[in-house]
């Protein structure tokens, strides 16, 4: 399996075997991700991180991953300080980033931007979220987390909850979970359903997702409840956001009939979907999930860099 120089634009660009290989490399990165071992796999290499949208975990964990591999990073977290404000196109900015680095990470509000960037860049481009499109590296760390928490992904009952219309983490994850023969349930307000295009692809893959708007009834059978934030910034009409804000807030009472092994995941940031009192329960896995971004992104950088 050779990942050297490969772009990471959509999770659909990867086969199940390739995903499993990335997850197994990620496992070997855990000690270095925790600082218990020193790695110099990417020594002398530079990662460019171009964030045109806000980010905490994705940005910091990509940087931590590169630094833990002995490499360096440069980039921006706010396009206001760049020539984008002077009217420079994404294509031209990407040409600069590829000239100054070995791998380019891009987060951009426009769907399809990462695919476009990959066409203009000789260096590999990694999609860190393109609008409401895809977020493939989040999916890899989500899969890693499910495997780590439950022992395997295959055959598990997984409910994706919240904003399935605009949530890119849910789109990417659904595609991947279909490859792993999971039983999928999609829980969302009527106006924020999983896009028809995603559902059709899942059905082509042989998945038969169950659609629901009743979270409470879904909890007892679930192995994973994957909660997402309502994507306020993607609503064309703020009044529509107000109507659905606060839908599906988990509380202690709702999870009292959950399996003991059920795990709650969330790509974060959370707004009010998961109150802090859930953090101390055996079910919360979201902070471990956020840490897993480091070993998974280390594996991806090392694979794309051709050093493992």
Q: Based on the shown chain and the rule CB under 6 A, indicate whether residue 267 belongs to the binding site for ligand NCD.
A: yes
Residue 4: CB minimum distance to ligand NCD, A: 26
Closer Cβ to ligand NCD, 22 or 39, answer by number: 22
Least Å distance, CB 248 to ligand NCD, is: 14
What is the nearest approach in angstroms of ligand NCD to the Cβ of residue 48? 18
Concatenating the DSSP letter of every residue in the chain gives ---TT--B--GGGS-HHHHHHHHHHHHHHHHHHTTSS---TTTT-EEEEEESS--SHHHHHHHHHHHHTT-EEEEES-GGGSGGGGT--HHHHHHHHHHH-SEEEEEESSTTHHHHHHHH-SS-EEEEEETTS--HHHHHHHHHHHHHHHS--TT-EEEEES-TTT-HHHHHHHHHHHHTT-EEEEE--GGGPPPHHHHHHHHHTT---EEES-HHHHGGG-SEEEE----GGG-SSHHHHHHHTT-S---TTTTTTS-TT-EEE--S--SSSS-GGGTTSTTB-HHHHHHHHHHHHHHHHHHHTT--
Cα separation, 221 vs 262, whole angstroms = 9
Residue 268 sits in the site that holds ligand NCD (CB under 6 A)? yes
Query: 57 catalytic, yes or no?
Result: yes
- Shortest distance in whole angstroms from residue 268 CB to ligand NCD: 5
Residues in 197-256 that interact with ligand NCD by CB under 6 A = 229
Q: Is 86 a catalytic residue?
A: yes
Would you say 122 or 249 has its CB closer to ligand NCD? 249
Please say which residue, 135 or 156, places its beta carbon nearer to ligand NCD: 135
Q: Would you list the DSSP string of 275-302?
A: -GGGTTSTTB-HHHHHHHHHHHHHHHHH
Q: Is 135 among the residues that bind ligand NCD (CB under 6 A)?
A: yes
User: Is 115 a known active-site residue?
Assistant: no
Q: How far is the CB of 86 from ligand NCD (least distance, A)?
A: 26
* Between 108 and 168, CB nearer to ligand NCD: 168
Using CB under 6 A, pick the residue from 138, 182, 185, 222 that binds ligand NCD: 138
* Residue 10 or 39 having the CB closest to ligand NCD: 10
Of 168, 263, 283, 297, the residue at the interface with ligand NCD (CB under 6 A) is 168
Q: Pick the closest to residue 126 from 138, 114, 141, 108 (CA basis).
A: 114
- 34 as an active site residue: the answer is no
- Does position 58 interact with ligand NCD (CB under 6 A)? The reply is yes
Q: Of 6, 45, 49, 57, which residue is the catalytic one? A: 57
Among 101, 121, 169, 185, binds ligand NCD (CB under 6 A): 169
Indicate which residues carry an active-site annotation: 57-58, 86, 107, 135
Q: Which residues bind ligand NCD (CB under 6 A)?
A: 57-58, 129, 135, 138, 168-169, 229, 267-268
């Amino acid at each position: 399996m050779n990942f050297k120089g490969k772009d990471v634009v959509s999770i659909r660009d990867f086969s199940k075997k390739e995903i499993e290989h990335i997850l197994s490399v990620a496992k070997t990165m855990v000690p270095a991700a925790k600082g218990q071992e020193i790695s110099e796999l990417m020594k002398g290499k530079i990662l460019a991180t171009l964030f045109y949208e806000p980010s905490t975990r994705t940005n910091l964990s990509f940087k931590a991953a590169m630094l833990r591999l002995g490499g360096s990073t440069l980039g921006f977290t706010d396009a206001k300080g760049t020539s984008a404000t002077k009217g420079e196109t994404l294509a031209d900015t990407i040409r600069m980033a590829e000239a100054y680095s070995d791998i380019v990470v891009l987060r951009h509000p426009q769907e399809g931007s990462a695919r476009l960037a990959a066409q203009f860049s000789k260096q590999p481009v990694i999609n860190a979220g393109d609008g409401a499109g895809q977020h493939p590296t989040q999916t890899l760390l989500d899969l890693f987390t499910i495997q780590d928490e439950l022992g395997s992904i295959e055959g598990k009952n997984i409910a994706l909850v919240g904003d399935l219309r605009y949530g890119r983490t849910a789109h990417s994850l659904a595609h991947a979970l279909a490859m792993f023969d999971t039983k999928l349930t999609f829980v969302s307000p009527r106006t924020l359903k999983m896009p028809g295009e995603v559902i059709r692809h899942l059905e082509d893959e042989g998945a038969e997702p169950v659609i629901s708007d009743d979270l409470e009834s879904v909890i007892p059978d679930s192995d994973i409840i994957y909660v997402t934030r309502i994507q306020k910034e993607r609503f064309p009409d703020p009044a529509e956001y107000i109507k659905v804000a606060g839908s599906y807030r988990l509380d202690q009472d709702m999870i009292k009939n959950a399996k003991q092994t059920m795990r709650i995941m969330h790509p974060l940031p959370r707004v009010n979907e998961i109150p802090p009192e859930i953090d101390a329960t055996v079910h919360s896995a979201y902070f471990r999930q956020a840490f897993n971004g480091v070993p998974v992104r280390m594996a991806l950088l090392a694979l794309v860099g051709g050093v493992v």
